[in-house]
Amino acid sequence: MTTPPEEPIDPVARLAEASARLKAAAREAGRESDVAIVVAAKTQTAETLTPLLAAGHRLFGENRVQEAQAKWPPLKARFPDIRLSLIGPLQSNKARDAVALFDEIASLDRIKLAAALAAEMAAQNRRPDLLVQVNTGEEPQKAGVAPQDLPAFLAACRAEYGLSIAGLLCIPPADEPPAPHFALLAKLAARHGLARLSMGMSGDYEIAAQLGATEVRLGSSLFGPRG
Ligand SMILES: *Cc1c(COP(=O)(O)O)cnc(C)c1O
């Protein structure tokens, strides 16, 4: 007996399926507004991503500035309305490159980085949207502002650096149920009048949608496990 060849993964079909599940989850929770999907494109080639672009998808996330610099300028030239989000940690010395390439930076988590971004935004006259990453699980190895430090951090971003913050992002601890973390992030956003909530990944995006996510970030559910 021969084993049939494995079906190749079709990210366009999987995106449509994820989108339908997301809509259903949001509707079940009584939410009217759509939840956007940020395609987490790390390690994926332009060749893999092009069918998604051809199908009309425009919102993508990358984790590393250098990888994004190699991949996206030619794609942006072909599809000028791409929105590229930096969802991975950013070093202050890469702020210039990040502001030049990304349409939003969703990993703001330190005053030093806020200062570097503010300076680059002024110098380049570019205003990428900014999301603050919150370390809801207070994990020592994880990036993000601790929840109790968020009020002072937001105040400093606004008052000292003139930065307007669009929303919050979190990555819950891998070994805990995500719902309390999503609920905490939603509470913090509401308390500070922040509209956008980037939360939920392949394993938990429906829960995130029910708890108020305005965008989820999907990688492996679209492309299969990363090698
Ligand atoms: C890779 C990545 C994702 C996507 O994770 P999956 O579990 O593959 O969907 C989401 N957010 C961030 C910050 C990531 O680095």
Ligand 1 midpoint to CA 217 (Å): 6
Q: Is the CB of 42 under 6 A from ligand 1?
A: yes
CA 128 to chain CA centroid, Å, is: 13
Q: Is the CB of 63 under 6 A from ligand 1?
A: yes
**Which tops the pLDDT comparison, 46 or 8?**
46
Q: Is the CB of 178 under 6 A from ligand 1?
A: no
Residue 5 has pLDDT above 80, yes or no: no
Q: What pLDDT does 8 receive?
A: 87
For 32, residues 6+ apart whose C-beta sits below 8 A from its C-beta are none
Ligand 1 midpoint to CA 123 (Å): 31
215: β partners: 36, 198
What is the rounded CA–CA span in Å between residue 22 and residue 20?
5
Alpha helices per DSSP H over 79-224: 95-101, 111-124, 150-161, 179-191, 205-210, 220-223
* Ligand 1 pocket, mutate which of 9, 84, 201 (most atoms under 8 A from CB): 201
Range scoring the smallest mean pLDDT among 58-62, 91-95, 155-159, 223-227: 223-227
Q: Is the CB of 217 under 6 A from ligand 1?
A: yes
Give the closest residue (by CA) to ligand 1 atom 7.
202
pLDDT tens sequence across 100-154 = 999 999 999 999 999 999 999 999 999 999 999 999 999 999 999 999 999 999 9
Reduce the DSSP state of residue 187 to 3 states and report it. helix
| One-letter amino acid of 69 | Q
pLDDT tens sequence across 187-221 = 999 999 999 999 999 999 999 999 999 999 999 99
Ligand 1 midpoint to CA 4 (Å): 30
Residue 58 has pLDDT above 80, yes or no: yes
Among the atoms of ligand 1, which is closest to the Cα of residue 222?
A: 9
Q: What pLDDT does 2 receive?
A: 66
Q: Is the CB of 201 under 6 A from ligand 1?
A: yes
Residue 162 has pLDDT above 70, yes or no: yes
Residue 3 has pLDDT above 70, yes or no: no
Question: Using the 8-state DSSP alphabet, how is residue 2 labeled?
Answer: P
pTM of the model: 0.96
Q: Is the CB of 43 under 6 A from ligand 1?
A: no
pLDDT mean across residues, the chain:
96
197: β partners: 168
